[in-house]
Chains A and B, each alone.
Chain A
C-alpha cells in the first residue's frame, strides 16, 4: 500500500482543535493552566512548529538513539574508566547527575502540561514527543550512574539530590519550580524550552560531551550527545509561541518571561558549569574558557534568536556580559570553601600553571580571586587546615538561592541588593534578582532560603554537623578536595626553594 508523504498529511492530522459543546472553552483549557493570554483558540492554531515529526518517525529515531548509547555503555562497562579517571572528572559526573537526572522527570511533567493544556495543536504534538524525551533522559541518567554507586557513595546523589535540602539543590528546585512546575503551558514553552533549553542545555550538554570525550569517558560523551539531539528538537517548542504572542500584542509579557528565565538559568549555570569548565577540567583538556564558551554559544546565539523573534535583548544584557567574566569564579571559590556541603569533591584548580591560564583568560584574576586563594594556599601549605573551612553560612540570595558575591581583592565590589517587603528584609545577589522578585512578589515572598531556615531555628544543632544533617549529607558523602590537596605540593616546593635560595 502506498504511504502518503509526511508533509501531505501532517498539518491535517495534528489539527485537533474543536469547538467544545458540553463544556466551555475555559473549562476545557483553564486559563491558569493553558496560559492563553486572552487569545482565542484560532489565534493559537496559527502556531507553526519548525520541526515537524510524526510519532512513528519519533519512535524509530529514538530506538536507534537508545541502542547507540546503551551499546557503548555495555561495551565499556569493564573498561575501568571510572576507576582510572581524574578525580576532577568524577566530580563533573557527580555534579551533573545529581543536578540534572531527576530534574528530567520533572521536565516530563512540564512537557505534559503543554501536551494537555496548550491551545496550540502543533505545540501539543511537539510536547508529546518532548515529554517522552524527558522520560528517556530521566531513565538514562539514572541507569548510567547506577553502576558506579557501589564504588562511590557520592554517586548515590544522582538518585537522591532532588529529595534533599542541600543548598545547591534548593537553588535548582527554586529555579525549576519557578519556570516549569508552576507556570501555564505557554509560559513553560517560553521559559523552559526557549529560554533555558535553547541556550543553556546546549552548553551543559555540548560542552560536557566534548570534555567527556577528552577525558576518555566515551560512555558519558555518548549519553549526553544522545540527550542533546532531543533537546535541540523540543527546545523549539517555545519559538512559535513567542511569535503568536508578539503578533497579538503580547510582546511585553513574552519578553518578561524570557528575561526572568534567562537570568535564573545563567545563575544556575554559573555555579554548575562555570567551575567545571575553568577549574575541574584538567588544564590539558580545556578547549575554551567558560567565558569564551558563553560568548560563543550563549551570547551570540541568544542575541540572534531574540532579534530574529522580534524580541529585545533583556534589559540587563550589559550586566550579564560583565558577569560572565566574574560570577563563576566566586561560585567556584564559594562552593570549594564550603566543600563539606557538596556531594562531589571539587577540584581546586589553582596550581601555578592553572593560575597562569586563568590570568590569561581573565586578566586581573591574580589581583582579585587570586588574593583570596593566596591566603587559602598558605593555610594548606602551613597545615593550618582549620582555617581552610568555614564557620558560618554564606548569605544567599532570596531569588537564585546562591551565595551573594562579587569580585574580591583589589577589585572589591561585593554588594547586597536588599528589599523590604511586607516587613521582611530580603537580600538579593544582583539588581536583576531583585527585579525578578519585584515582578511578582507574592509568588516568591513565602520561600525561605537556607539562611532564613537557619535563623528560624529549623537547622539543629546550629553548627556544621547540624547543617550537614539538614542537607541530608551522610558520612562518606561529604565533599572534600578532589585531589586530596596534592596540588599544594608545588607551592610547598616553591616555598622550600625560596627559603633555601
Chain B
C-alpha cells in the first residue's frame, strides 16, 4: 500500500494530468481514478464502453484486474485510458 503517481492521457481529452493511485489498485480502479479528472469535465461519458489501460504506444491493454505494483509501470509514467465498446 503506497501512493503511486501516474500521468493520465485520457482518450478524447486534450491534456495530460497527474493522477494519484495506490499500488494495490487494479487497472479498472486506475481508469476510474483517471476518469474523475476528464469524464464529465471535458469528455462525455460513454455508457456503451468500458475504460481500459495501456502503456503509451502499446496496442495491448493491461489486464483489468492487474494491480499497479504488478504492472511494471514507473512512477509518473504515462498511461492511455481508452474507451472499449462493451461486447454483448
Contacts and interface: CB of A to CB of B under 8 A. Distances in A.
Q: Do A and B bind each other?
A: yes
Interface of A: 330, 333-334, 337, 369, 371-372, 374-376, 379, 387-388, 390-395, 403-409, 412, 414-416, 418, 425, 427, 451, 454-455
Contacts of B18: 392-395, 451, 454-455
24 contacts: A330-B15, A333-B42, A334-B14, A372-B13, A372-B14, A375-B40, A376-B42, A379-B41, A392-B37, A393-B17, A395-B16, A395-B78, A403-B16, A405-B15, A408-B12, A412-B12, A412-B13, A414-B16, A416-B7, A416-B16, A418-B77, A418-B78, A427-B76, A451-B18
B13 A455 contact: no
Which 4 interchain pairs have the tightest Cβ spacing?
A: A408-B14, A395-B16, A372-B42, A416-B78
Nearest to A454: B18
Interface in B1-53: 5, 7, 9, 11-20, 36-37, 40-44
Contacts of A371: 12, 43-44
B7 A334 contact: no
A394 B77 CA distance: 14
Contacts, number: 99
B75 interface: yes
B56 interface: yes
Interface of B: 5, 7, 9, 11-20, 36-37, 40-44, 56, 74-78
B12 A409 contact: yes
Contact of B76 (A333, A334, A412, A425): A425
Nearest to B7: A395
A236 to B, nearest CB: 38
B17 A414 contact: no
Contacts of B75: 425
B40 A387 contact: yes
B40 A330 contact: no
B15 A414 contact: yes
Nearest to B10: A414
B87 to A, nearest CB: 23
B37 A390 contact: yes
A375 B44 contact: yes
B77 A391 contact: no
B23 to A, nearest CB: 15
Nearest to A334: B15
A18 B18 CA distance: 57
B19 A333 contact: no
Given A415-B56, A416-B7, A425-B75, A387 B41 contact: yes
Nearest to B14: A408
Contact of A406 (B14, B44, B74, B76): B14
A403 B56 contact: no
B76 A455 contact: yes
B43 A372 contact: yes
B14 A414 contact: yes
Contacts of A376: 41-42
B5 to A, nearest CB: 6
